[in-house]
């Protein structure tokens, strides 16, 4: 068996991570396909009141599943069927792991979707 240096292990780990992300992307497109023309992309960033991105916030649209979670940069992205308006709920469900934030429900109109939403959550 060949022993690898720490540097070689790190390089191989990054290659495997990249291959894993590419594989997930291909499988997602194969299973769910690309968004339809009638679908809209609802996305934005969830920040604290001090403009710090909040990871792990559950973002859900009423009567639409599944929910999404903000990434480490507070970014979320949901593909939804086209409607005139949406009721979006932002919930901190991980407890005090990244701070405790109040749940926010916000109604957005179709015209707001073309811009990246900037959501600010109040701390509890």
Q: What is the mean pLDDT of the chain?
A: 82
Q: Are residues 108 and 76 part of one domain?
A: yes
pLDDT of 34 over the 60 cut? no
**What pLDDT sits at residue 24?**
63
Q: Are residues 74 and 30 part of one domain?
A: no
How many domains does the chain divide into? 2
Q: Are residues 39 and 74 part of one domain?
A: yes
Instruction: Please name the helix (run of DSSP H) or strand (run of DSSP E) that holds residue 16, with its range, or none.
Output: helix 6-32
Q: Are residues 68 and 109 part of one domain?
A: yes
> Going by C-beta distance under 8 Å and a sequence separation of 6 or more, which residues neighbour residue 55?
69, 70, 71, 72, 73, 74, 98
**What pLDDT sits at residue 103?**
94
Q: Are residues 116 and 73 part of one domain?
A: yes
For the stretch 92-108, pLDDT in tens is 988 777 778 999 999 99
Distance CA 83, CA 39 (A): 9
**What pLDDT sits at residue 26?**
64
CA 83: distance to chain centroid? Answer: 21
Q: Are residues 28 and 45 part of one domain?
A: no
Overall average pLDDT of the 43-53 stretch? 92
CA 11: distance to chain centroid? Answer: 27
Q: Are residues 44 and 4 part of one domain?
A: no
Q: Are residues 64 and 13 part of one domain?
A: no
Residue 24, domain extent:
1-34
Distance CA 124, CA 121 (A): 9
Distance CA 51, CA 122 (A): 11
Q: Are residues 58 and 114 part of one domain?
A: yes
Distance CA 91, CA 101 (A): 8
Q: Are residues 42 and 29 part of one domain?
A: no
Distance CA 123, CA 3 (A): 49
The CATH number that applies at residue 83 is 2.60.40.10
Q: Are residues 21 and 41 part of one domain?
A: no
């Amino acid at each position: 068996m060949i022993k690898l240096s720490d540097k070689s292990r790190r390089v191989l780990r990054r290659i495997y991570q990249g291959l894993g992300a590419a594989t997930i992307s291909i499988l997602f497109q194969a299973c769910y396909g690309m968004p339809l023309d009638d679908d809209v992309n609802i996305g934005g960033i969830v920040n604290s009141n001090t403009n710090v991105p909040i990871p792990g916030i559950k973002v859900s649209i009423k009567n639409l599943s599944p929910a999404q979670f903000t990434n480490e940069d507070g970014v979320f992205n949901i593909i939804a069927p086209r409607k005139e308006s949406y009721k979006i709920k932002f919930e901190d469900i991980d407890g005090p792991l990244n701070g405790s934030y109040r749940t926010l429900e916000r109604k957005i109109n179709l015209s707001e979707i073309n811009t990246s939403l900037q959501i600010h959550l109040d701390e509890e």
